[in-house]
């Protein structure tokens, strides 16, 4: 059995190898692990530039590790963090039985090529808990003007009035609507349940019986119902051709005047121009975004002139333990998959 492991600047190959040795692969016999590095020597800020290239343009937009095409030919398993799994790599692989990636986003993977070869793909939401926490934090920050008050004080102003004053209330008086009820979405529901907040959701791919079996108090509706009933619309869907610019003028115009948009998913699911227009015209009360269409946000961007938006620097999942422990989370998920043959983390392509 041959395993190809690709480390990077955030998840070392040594950690991936250690996790791999704890995986109960169904194959028997001698184990060979071939290791590669993908810009592992870059500092975090420099490596972030590579990540942004992948997130915007996919795995073909960056270099793959030298020599990997030759080694992947007879590999049985491929384990990566965010290193690209390109079309050439998949085409070269002759007996790949599974790909494991220890992150939630799939932009670094040539999904069509993986689908064409019917290779099982397992991922893990390594920062699901931090993102869920941060999502709740943005709800408080935007609806209660926490960041705006702080910014005013720093600029010498003791500000007491805000554009959302007609709508201010406690979180428990809001109905939160989630678009996407995957792993992160369910963690957000769990937190909102604990806070006594009514939760509704839209996700055409979830099994409501399974959601209920997990003890989550959430009601599924069609998209238009969720959008029109939610006081806070929180986005948790993957970016795909089907979801790109999904939240546009038509959707926003169905929202309540006192409602908010929270986005800790991907910027591309939200139509930038339509959001800016809605905020400028006070069509909705506000928005909070941890993701942007261009990162860093460029000087002069219309987002920076808005007084009814909270912006953060794509840090929702950035905690000291989320990324380092990701290979071990992948290990646990793979062991369950090999034992049972099923997994919520198996991507349906």
Q: Which residues are catalytic?
A: 266, 295, 314
Residues 67 and 234: their CA atoms lie apart, in Å, by 43
Burial of 325 (0-12, 13-18, 19+ CB in 10 A): middle
For the record, the structure tokens of 201 come out as 């959701």
Task: Confirm if 290 and 138 have CB atoms less than 8 A apart.
Answer: yes
Residue 297 and residue 311 in contact, taking contact as beta carbons nearer than 8 Å: yes
Nearest partner of 87 among 122, 58, 66, judged by Cα = 58
Q: Which of 294, 247, 319, 288 is nearest to 55 (CA)?
A: 294
Q: Cα-atom radius of gyration of the chain, to the nearest Å? A: 21
CA–CA dist 107, 84 (Å, integer):
9
Phi, psi at 287, each rounded to 5°: -150, 155
Q: Kindly state the helix (H) or strand (E) to which residue 80 belongs, with its residue range.
A: strand 77-80
- DSSP H helix total and E strand total for the chain: 13, 12
> Cα(26)–Cα(248) distance, rounded to whole angstroms?
46
């Amino acid at each position: 059995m041959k395993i190809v492991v690709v480390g990077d600047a955030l998840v070392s190959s040594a950690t991936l190898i250690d996790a791999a040795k704890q995986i109960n692969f169904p194959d028997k016999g001698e184990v060979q692990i071939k290791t590669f590095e993908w810009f592992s020597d870059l500092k975090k800020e420099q490596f972030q530039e590579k990540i942004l290239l992948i997130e915007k343009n996919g795995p073909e937009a960056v270099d793959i590790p030298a020599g990997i095409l030759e080694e992947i030919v007879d590999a049985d398993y491929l384990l990566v963090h965010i290193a690209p799994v390109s079309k050439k790599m998949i085409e070269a692989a002759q007996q790949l039985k599974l790909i494991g990636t220890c992150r939630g986003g799939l932009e670094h993977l040539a999904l069509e090529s993986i689908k064409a070869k019917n290779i099982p793909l397992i991922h893990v939401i390594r920062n699901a808990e931090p993102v869920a926490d941060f999502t709740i934090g943005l709800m408080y920050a935007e609806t209660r003007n926490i960041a705006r008050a702080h910014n005013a004080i720093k600029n010498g102003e003791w500000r007491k009035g805000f554009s959302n004053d007609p709508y201010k209330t406690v979180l428990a008086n809001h109905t939160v609507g989630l678009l996407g009820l995957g792993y992160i979405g369910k963690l957000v529901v769990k937190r909102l349940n604990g806070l006594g907040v009514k939760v509704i959701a839209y996700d055409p791919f979830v099994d409501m019986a399974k959601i209920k079996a997990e003890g989550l108090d959430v009601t599924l509706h069609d998209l238009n119902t969720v959008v029109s009933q939610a006081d806070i619309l929180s986005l948790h869907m993957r970016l795909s051709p089907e979801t790109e610019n999904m939240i546009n003028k038509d959707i926003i115009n169905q929202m309540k005047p006192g409602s908010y948009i929270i986005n800790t998913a991907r910027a591309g699911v939200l139509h930038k121009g339509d959001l800016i227009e809605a905020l400028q015209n006070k069509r909705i009360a506000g928005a909070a975004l941890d993701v942007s269409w261009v990162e860093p946000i460029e000087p002069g961007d219309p987002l920076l002139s808005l007084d009814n938006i909270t912006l953060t620097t794509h840090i929702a999942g950035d905690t000291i333990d989320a990324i380092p422990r990701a290979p071990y989370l992948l290990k646990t998920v793979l062991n369950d998959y090999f034992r049972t043959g099923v997994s919520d983390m198996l991507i349906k392509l």
